[in-house]
Amino acid sequence: MYHAPTLKRKLLLFLAILGPIVVTQISYIAMNVLDTMMSGRAGTVDLAGVAVGSSLWMPLMTGINALLLAVTPIISHLIGEGKDEQIAKPATQALYLSVILSLAIIGIGAIALDPLLAAMKLEPDVAYIAKHYLIGIAWGLVPFFASYVIRYFFEAQGFTRITMYIMLAAVPINGFLNYGLIFGHFGFPRLGGIGSGYATAITFWCIFAISIWMTFVNPVIRRHRLFVRWYAPSLKLWKEQLAIGIPMGLSTFFEASIFAVVTLFMGMMFDTSTIAAHQATLNFASLLFMVPLSISMALTILVAYEAGAGRREHARQYGILGVSMAVGLMGLGACALFFMREPIAWLYTEDAHVAELITHFLVFALVFQLSDASQASLQGVLRGYKDVTVPFVVALISYWIIGIPLGYALADFTALGAYGFWVGITAGLTFATAGFFLRLRLIQRRAAPLPTGAS
């Protein structure tokens, strides 16, 4: 990674870092898309079960990954300060944290999963598939979160292509395992939707193994001796990472978990077809969201690098460039989604009623995409400045005090029905966008860099 003094060179550097991140993120979510699409081909009950399981898994996944993402601005700041010889130490501490968090999630899940599914009052077959889909995924949690730390270690140094190649190899592995375990091909047992959970877990182990291998293959990365030199656990470094990571993780969790709560409400208020259609729509919208999310991650890397070097005007220029790109691209995506909504619906189901519901949900997803792109890119800039506490509060208010209550009211008391939840969520995301924008304007007017975890 290098300093780009002109706007043209900034754009080229931004695109060079962004392109592989987009491919990587789409590849990650493509595995979940494959789970949902292929489970839908196994039956509506399988689709609904995987939908419920996925809605519970995705908030945890995105929240913990956002927490671990703290290693990116820390490493980027060190590189910007000319201290790149120190970057293996925070990466190693993040690996320790990833294992602890994985085991904690497995323990909490063992206690809370059955009561949570019971509270949703699902059909017994749907609840059974959701439970065992999540049990399958649990076998891959430790390698999954550890591989994300390795990914952030690569990307903070500008090596975004490495994780892109890893994920391009992982998607066909996941597709092959899904096909075998869901439908019983290639000598695998026929597990239906449950099989997608085990297929994903095995794929996580493959990603982890390849990621470790790459730390030894690349000569620049090899000199940091990650997985060769082991540092003792450091409470000081854990505290630094958690001071940044916890607000980031909670902000992301608050956003992602609203969809789990919406699925919970839908399970209580609407039928299986509506749950399946909602999840299919969310699944495809999540695929599109990988573009602004990737822009957000690229912004965190570049803004942190420039801020660490004290070049705050250059950091500001990256912010303008990235946010404008995120909103513009998702505007084009929304137009394409409007005209392609019916073919997209039939990718998820063979049930005409469910397909019709999906096409209606996709219309509401159009506006949702624009608000989501705005707030995600703005958060990426703020994280580059290590500013996380105020955004956490903004996210809490936006998603849980505005989005969920408004969505529930619209769904229960108006003719919008299930679609009311999407209107409420969009309103929450719009409020978050305004809050993040105002916070960023304040940060950019400050002359000195912010301390870690500043509020």
What tokens does 240 get? Answer: 């630094």
Q: What is the pLDDT of residue 106?
A: 94
Q: How confident is the model at residue 3 (pLDDT cuts 50, 70, 90)?
A: low
Q: Please, how many CA atoms are within 13 Å of residue 29, restricted to the half-sphere of its CB?
A: 20
Question: What angle is formed at CA 421 by the lines to CA 420 and CA 426, rounded to 5 degrees?
Answer: 100
Q: What is the pLDDT of residue 254?
A: 76
With beta carbons less than 8 A apart as the criterion, state whether 84 and 78 touch.
yes
- Kindly report the number of other CB atoms within 10 A of residue 405's CB atom: 12
pLDDT in tens, 196-254: 999 999 999 999 999 999 999 988 889 999 999 899 988 888 988 888 888 888 877 77
Q: What is the pLDDT of residue 26?
A: 83
Q: Evaluate if residue 18 carries a pLDDT over 80.
A: yes
Instruction: Give CA separation, 257 vs 20, 51, 56, 96, 181, in Å.
Output: 27, 14, 8, 25, 28
With beta carbons less than 8 A apart as the criterion, state whether 352 and 317 touch.
no
Gyration radius of the chain's alpha carbons: 21
Alpha helices in 349-398 (DSSP H): 352-384, 389-396
Q: How confident is the model at residue 450 (pLDDT cuts 50, 70, 90)?
A: very low
Q: What is the pLDDT of residue 446?
A: 72
pLDDT in tens, 380-400: 999 888 888 898 899 899 988
pLDDT in tens, 174-184: 999 999 999 99
DSSP code per residue over 261-293? HHHHHHHHHS-HHHHHHHHHHHHHHHHHHHHHH
Phi, psi of 371 (to 5 degrees): -65, -40
Looking at every residue in the chain, the average pLDDT score rounds to 86
Instruction: Put residue 192 in one of left, alpha, beta given phi > 0 → left and psi -120 to 50 → alpha.
Output: left
DSSP code per residue over 184-242? T-TT----THHHHHHHHHHHHHHHHHHHHHHHHHSHHHHTT-TTTS-PPP-HHHHHHHH
Q: Evaluate if residue 1 carries a pLDDT over 70.
A: no
Query: Which is it for the CA torsion 146, 178, 343, 279, positive or negative?
Result: negative
Q: What is the pLDDT of residue 448?
A: 46
Percent of the chain with pLDDT over 70: 97
With beta carbons less than 8 A apart as the criterion, state whether 160 and 154 touch.
yes
Summarize the confidence of residues 449-453 as an average pLDDT. 45
Q: What is the pLDDT of residue 452?
A: 44
Distance between CA 4 and CA 410 in Å, rounded? 48
Percent of the chain with pLDDT over 90: 33
Q: What is the pLDDT of residue 214?
A: 93
pLDDT in tens, 401-442: 999 999 999 998 998 888 899 899 899 999 999 999 999 999
With beta carbons less than 8 A apart as the criterion, state whether 259 and 55 touch.
yes
Instruction: Give CA separation, 122 vs 49, 171, 359, 407, in Å.
Output: 9, 31, 24, 21
Query: Which of 261, 143, 277 is CA-nearest to residue 200?
Result: 143
Summarize the confidence of residues 101-121 as an average pLDDT. 90
Q: How confident is the model at residue 58 (pLDDT cuts 50, 70, 90)?
A: confident
Q: What is the pLDDT of residue 255?
A: 74
Q: Collect all residues with Cβ–Cβ distance below 8 Å to 373 and sequence separation of at least 6.
A: 289, 291, 292, 326, 327, 329, 330
Q: Evaluate if residue 449 carries a pLDDT over 60.
A: no
Instruction: Please tell me the least confidently modeled range out of 118-122, 161-165, 223-227, 296-300.
Output: 118-122
pLDDT in tens, 309-337: 788 888 888 889 999 999 999 888 888 88
Question: What angle is formed at CA 440 by the lines to CA 61 and CA 91, rounded to 5 degrees?
Answer: 40
Query: Which of 437, 387, 380 is CA-nearest to residue 18?
Result: 380
User: What letters, b where the CB count within 10 A reaches 16 and e where it falls short, cover 377-386?
Assistant: bbbbbbbbbb
